[in-house]
Amino acid sequence: MFAPFVLVLALASVVLSSPLWQRREIRRNADVSLSNWGGFQSLNGFDDFNGVGNFDGSNNVQTVVVQEEQTVCEVQSIEVIQQKLVVLREMVKKVITEQICEVEVQTIVLEQFSSGIGSFSSDLLRQSGRQVGFDSNVASKISQLVNEDGSLSSSDLGFSGSDVGNNTVVAAGSNWNNTTSPSSVQSALTAAQAAAGFVSLPSQTA
């Protein structure tokens, strides 16, 4: 449980000289059960969703669906993209604060959400060995999150965390280049992390 923290301290104590340390590359799923953690009844069955040792869902099987008409990326203005992602972020806050009352449970659920996003980052960097895709069945359920009056629905959406990836769609058309992109995406990540105020620490291959 304390391992990541200890690792951070270990890294922090080394001289700052080498390339950027990437927080997300150090994190790995561990066999930690959170079902009934802290005696919270509301965490009953928590592990059943993704499975123990699959906290972020990155161990899920990905089945890429062959589409009649291939999805191709199509450029939108950056503001439109940012608006969409912020809507999703605010919805995350709404769900967590309106439908969970225990702050400990709110904390655990948010961490699961964040780690799932973190694993997508390593997909984007092509460091995970996973497809860079999304589950189209699950994504299509967004319209079922709210009732007609705008309040959050309480309906069971009929799937488990381990089903995510079963209908993976991979959009074509990205500019990924096996030769040049590994370093250019790393530069992009480093630039963004600098903007986020990440502290640079030396990398150490564990």
Ligand X SMILES: *[C@@H]1O[C@H](CO)[C@@H](O)[C@H](O)[C@H]1NC(C)=O
Among 21, 1, 19, CA closest to 10 = 21
Among 92, 31, 61, 33, CA closest to 160 = 61
Instruction: Determine which residue in the list 13, 154, 178, 183 makes contact with ligand X, applying CB under 6 A.
Output: 178
In the chain, what is the straight-line distance between the N-terminal and C-terminal CA atoms, in Å?
17
Part of the chain binding ligand X (CB under 6 A), chosen from 41-49, 70-78, 110-118, 173-181: 173-181
**Comparison of 77 and 178: residue with beta carbon closer to ligand X:** 178
Cβ pair 18, 8 in contact under 8 A: no
**Comparison of 21 and 134: residue with beta carbon closer to ligand X:** 134
User: Is position 183 an interface residue for ligand X (rule: CB under 6 A)?
Assistant: no
Helical (H) or strand (E) element with 135: strand 134-135
**Comparison of 143 and 183: residue with beta carbon closer to ligand X:** 183
CA distance 198 to 11: 14
**Comparison of 16 and 73: residue with beta carbon closer to ligand X:** 73
User: Is position 17 an interface residue for ligand X (rule: CB under 6 A)?
Assistant: no
Part of the chain binding ligand X (CB under 6 A), chosen from 88-96, 112-120, 146-154, 175-183: 175-183
User: Is position 180 an interface residue for ligand X (rule: CB under 6 A)?
Assistant: yes
Q: Which residue has the tokens 């995406």?
A: 185
CA distance 44 to 41: 5
Window 60-89: residues binding ligand X (CB under 6 A) = 63
What x-and-dash track marks residues 28-67 binding ligand X by CB under 6 A? Answer: -----------------------------------x----
User: Is position 179 an interface residue for ligand X (rule: CB under 6 A)?
Assistant: yes
CA distance 180 to 183: 6
Minimum gap (Å) between residue 171 Cβ and ligand X: 16
Among 187, 41, 189, CA closest to 120 = 189
**Comparison of 63 and 67: residue with beta carbon closer to ligand X:** 63
CA distance 134 to 159: 15
User: Is position 187 an interface residue for ligand X (rule: CB under 6 A)?
Assistant: no
Q: Give me the phi and psi of 108, to 5 degrees please.
A: -65, -45
Binding site for ligand X (CB under 6 A): 63, 163, 166, 177-180
